[in-house]
Amino acid sequence: MSTQTIDSLKDAVRDIPDFPKPGILFKDITPILADGGLFRAAIDLFHGSIKNAGIEKIVCIDARGFLFGSAVAYRLGIGMVPVRKRGKLPYRTRTLAYALEYGEAEVEMHVDAIRPGERVALIDDLLATGGTSGAAAGLIQAAGGIVHGAYFLIELGFLDGRKQLPGIEVISYLRY
């Protein structure tokens, strides 16, 4: 993907100060989603990174990861697996807790979503502290899946979220 495309995507990300709470600078991707060419370019980035990797499933993190991951899964002709906050999935689930800045949260995935040995790509819109992504990778591994890589449109490098994904290749396209 060209530097111009990356620059166009980065230029479209809108900074929202003090959201969702004071002191946070939120990276808003909705301008990318609203522009067909930019949204396609973002999907092309993900697709280009994994199209020849033998991926069998895309695991997407609630909720913005669904937007990118489902489009990539569709393009590859493979299944998409949602990882959601606890209590949002209707069937039997595997749950994993992870630490937040203040407290703890839990994510879950259906117990039958990943087969042992299945090659999986993890997709989300943003890597920040890495807690949710690390928990999602843990769910995949607990099911016997192989996390081929974790892919993010945006990475907030100063938060060092990669450390929550040890041994997993992390690819991000827009870095702050």
Per-residue pLDDT tens digits for 89-126: 999 999 999 987 677 999 999 999 999 999 999 999 99
| One-letter-per-residue 3-state SS of 95-127 | EEEEEECCEEEEEEEECCCCCCCCEEEEEEEEE
In this predicted structure, what is the pLDDT of residue 174? 98
86 catalytic? Reply is no
pTM as predicted: 0.96
> Catalytic residue among 14, 86, 101, 115, which?
101
Query: For 130-158, what is the mean pLDDT?
Result: 98
Return the bridge partners of 174, or none: 154
For the chain, the domains span 54-175
Architecture of the domain spanning 54-175: 3-Layer(aba) Sandwich (3.40)
Quick check: 68 and 46 in contact, CB under 8 A? yes
Query: For 7-34, what is the mean pLDDT?
Result: 96
106 catalytic? Reply is no
Q: Quick one: what percent of the chain has pLDDT higher than 90?
A: 95
> Catalytic residue among 56, 64, 108, 118, which?
64
Provide the pLDDT confidence category of residue 1 given band limits of 50, 70 and 90.
Answer: low
Quick check: 164 and 141 in contact, CB under 8 A? no
